Homo-oligomer: A and B are copies of this chain.
Amino acid sequence: MSARRIETIPELRLAVAEARPLGPIGLVPTMGALHAGHAELIRRASQECGFVVASIFVNPTQFDRTEDFQRYPRTLAADLEFCAAHGAAVVFAPDAAEMYPGPPLTFVEAPTLAEKLCGEFRPGHFRGVATVVAKLFNIVQPDRAYFGEKDAQQLAIIRQMTADLDFPIVIVPIPTVREPDGLAMSSRNRLLSPAERRIAPALYQALLAARSRVAAGATSAAEVREAALAALAPHKAVRVEYLEIVDPALMRPVERIAAPVLAAAAVWLGAVRLIDNVFCEPPRH
C-alpha cells in the first residue's frame, strides 16, 4: 500500500484541516531516499499524533554544490510505500515550482549556530534548511515535528528557530539509528563503494573514543579531539573535514569540558561526505 501522495500546498492544507479533529498533527520533513532512521521518525510520529504528514522534497536551496543535488538519491515510489508501512497518512511531495514559484527573497537564519561545523564548509546550507523548514511549518502547521539527532547542527538550528520565532510546535529529537557495525543510517550511504562502506564505521568509532575520554574525566577539548583524530588516522582513505567538541545548543567549539558536549565530525570517503555525532557526558562527582 502507498501513502496518499499530495503535490500542492492547497490540497495539503485541506487534508490537514480535515484531519485536525483526529488529534495532533505530526510532521516528518525528509528529502526522501528513506531508510531505517526515517522509519523511526515516522513510527514515533504515528504513536504520538492522530495524523502524520511525511514531506519528501529535495530542497535545492540547501545544496551548496550542484553535483551533490543532482547525485542525491531519489526513490519516490519506494518511499511512498515505506511511509505508509510506518504510519504516515500523507506524503507531501511538491516539485520545486510549488515550493518556489518565484525567486526566493526571504531567508531564515541562525548565524551563530550555523557558523561552525557543517555551516563552515557548506555556505548557505543551513539558511536553506531553516527557510524550507519554516515554509513546511507554515504549510502543515503541525503540533509536533520530528528530526533525527544524526543531523545535530540542523536539529539545534530548528530548535532555536522554533523557540525564537514562537512556532507553536514541539520539536521531537529522535536518536540516530545505526547499522550493526555502527555506521549511522544515511541516504548517502548507498553512494559508498563496497571498500568505502567497510571503512565507514571508523567515523563512529572515532567519536566513541572521544566519548570514552570525556567519560573518563578528560576536561581538555583539544585532548579529546586528538584522541578521536588518532582513531581515524590509520584509515588513509578517510579525509576529515572537521571534528569538533561543541556545546550541544549553540554548536560552537568549547575549550574546557564542564558539561555535556557533542563530538561531531564530517569526513569524506572518496566523493561521499558522511557526518555523525555522539553525546559525551563528563563523569558525575
Interface residue ranges, A against B (CB under 8 Å): 9, 13, 102, 104-113, 130-131, 134-135, 138-139, 141, 160-161, 163-168
Contact = CB atoms under 8 A, between A and B. Distances in A.
Contact of A138 (B104, B110, B135, B165): B165
A105 B109 CA distance: 8
Contacts of A138: 165-168
The interface centre, meaning the residue of A109, A161, A166 with most chain B CB atoms within 10 A of its CB, is A166
The interface centre, meaning the residue of A102, A106, A109, A165 with most chain B CB atoms within 10 A of its CB, is A106
A135 B166 contact: yes
A106 B141 contact: no
Given A109-B106, A111-B107, A112-B105, A165 B130 contact: no
Contact of A165 (B109, B111, B135, B163): B135
Given A138-B166, A138-B167, A166-B9, A107 B109 contact: yes
Contact of A108 (B13, B108, B113, B160): B108
A158 to B, nearest CB: 10
B106 A165 contact: yes
A88 to B, nearest CB: 20
A-B pairs, 8 with minimum CB distance:
A106-B164, A138-B166, A106-B110, A106-B161, A135-B166, A139-B166, A105-B112, A105-B110
Given A13-B168, A106-B161, A107-B111, 18 more contacts: A104-B164, A105-B110, A105-B111, A105-B112, A105-B160, A106-B108, A106-B110, A106-B160, A106-B164, A107-B108, A107-B110, A108-B108, A109-B109, A134-B165, A135-B164, A138-B165, A138-B167, A139-B166
